[in-house]
Amino acid sequence: MKKHSARVAPLSSYSTQVLTCPISEGGDGSESQADTPGSETSEESRSYQACTNTALKVLGGLLLVLGVSSSWVGTTQVVKLTFQSFSCPFFISWFSSNWNILFFPIYYSGLVVTTREKQTPIQKFRECSKLFGEDGMTLKLFVKRTAPFSILWTLTNYLYLMALKKLTATDVSALYCCHKAFVFLLSWIVLKDRFMGVRIVAAIMAITGIVMMAYADGFHGDSFVGVALAVGSASTSALYKVLFKMFLGSASLGEVAHFLSTMGFFNLIFISCVPLILYFTKVEHWGSLSSLPWGYLCGMAGLWLVFNILVHVGVVLTYPILISIGTLLSVPGNAAVDVLKHEVIFSVVRLAATCIICLGFLLLLLPEEWDSVTLRFLANIADKKSEEHGEELTESSVHTRSRSRANGTVSIPLA
């Protein structure tokens, strides 16, 4: 066989710089070039921004809950103080409802501050008037759409004020929380909402609390009348909210502000005759205008306006559950004020009735998919426990085998 040989000349023209790759000290060179300090900084900034947004949402929710509960407690307590020198509930209700006219101006002012709105107030008002139809608001639509809501609004406030004349602020605020159960029942019947057994139980608990509250002083006297008035206020409030959801459920914040200001105008124009009739029939005697407690009246109307703004704005911009929690917290808030300032002593029956109503209110806050979510959560916990138990068995078997090998014994599995 012949041997073949070949010379291989060195590649002098090959550039070694092409083969070089910069590797940091202590690294293995497997990291990609995407892991740069700039990308790490951007990821940190994004995570920091997400945490900041979450913290702001939580803080905003807590402030909303605190604002709703404190404004409602303040309104209720100022009404009680007003009744000491001025006992005209319908006039108070009418006077505070007139302040709803300020809804749209407050909304437009906030819009200008936050977004630098270029539209004039008249243009924005006409734009939001499409809530009444494509042609805007006419006199017929103004009366047709506004009259039922304004009447329900006036009845809710008037019955609530009348109940405060008979009962303590804690009892009235607790009974008013039953409106959540009435909303569920009406939504189930009228709006065909999903049936939920736990909410039926909550409604039964609310009715039980109402009966116990009426039984606390016997089914007679001012206590029974006050309970009936408070339940009537909760019922009209529930009907108002169901109709509001039916006709204005998809309305924007501007349209809601427009509608509430329209209700204020309707109250000022058409319902002003009722206080005059009550005055001339001497059902409610005001006296001279200078003798009216304008400080209490304006303070109460302002707090009521703040409460209504927070409720309607919170429902549109945040979670409705926060509004419900704020309303519920008014019960212990009023109880604290009644005990510390008015030295009210609550009976055991009243305390039990209040607790039952509040517990039913909390059950009504459960989401629709709470049962499936709870079952899924329990299944995940069971799976984790089974996995941990399997890992413990594996570790124990490995430990036993190592000990047996160390002692020179061999375990033979039985067939």
Residue 285 is assigned to a structural domain of this protein? yes
Residue 100 is assigned to a structural domain of this protein? yes
- Judged against a pLDDT cut of 90, whether residue 222 lies above it is answered with no
311, with CB counted inside 10 A (0-12, 13-18, 19+), is buried
By three-state DSSP, how is residue 410 classified? coil
Residue 3 is assigned to a structural domain of this protein? no
pLDDT tens, 158-184? 999 999 998 999 999 999 999 988 988
| pTM for this prediction | 0.77
pLDDT tens, 51-96? 887 777 778 778 888 999 999 999 999 999 999 889 899 999 999 9
Cβ pair 158, 93 in contact under 8 A: yes
* 165: number of Cβ within 10 Å: 16
Helix axes of 169-176 and 37-83: crossing angle, nearest 10 degrees: 120
- Judged against a pLDDT cut of 50, whether residue 187 lies above it is answered with yes
Pairwise pLDDT comparison (28 vs 111), residue with the higher score:
111
Q: Which residue has the tokens 């007003």?
A: 82
Residue 371 is assigned to a structural domain of this protein? no
Residue 6 is assigned to a structural domain of this protein? no
- What are the φ/ψ torsions at residue 6 (nearest 5 degrees)? -140, 140
Q: What is the DSSP letter of 194?
A: P
The pLDDT confidence band at residue 400, using thresholds 50, 70 and 90, is low
End-to-end CA distance of the chain: 66
pLDDT tens, 20-41? 434 444 444 444 444 455 556 6
Residue 223 is assigned to a structural domain of this protein? yes
Pairwise pLDDT comparison (220 vs 315), residue with the higher score:
315
What is the phi-psi region of residue 170: left when phi exceeds 0, alpha when psi lies from -120 to 50, beta otherwise?
A: alpha
362, with CB counted inside 10 A (0-12, 13-18, 19+), is middle
- Judged against a pLDDT cut of 50, whether residue 113 lies above it is answered with yes
- Judged against a pLDDT cut of 80, whether residue 299 lies above it is answered with yes
d(Cα 245, Cα 250) in Å, to the nearest integer? 8
Residue 399 is assigned to a structural domain of this protein? no
Domain that holds residue 340: 62-366
Evaluated on CA atoms 234, 240, 242, 248, the torsion sign reads negative
| Beta-carbon-side half-sphere exposure of residue 252 (alpha carbons within 13 Å) | 12
What residues contact residue 324 under an 8 Å CB cut-off, 6+ apart? Answer: 180, 361, 364, 365
pLDDT attached to residue 120: 85
Number of domains in the chain: 1
d(Cα 141, Cα 147) in Å, to the nearest integer? 10
Token digits of residue 223: 């206590």
- The C-alpha angle with vertex 336 and arms to 333 and 341, in degrees rounded to 5, equals 125
Residue 69 is assigned to a structural domain of this protein? yes
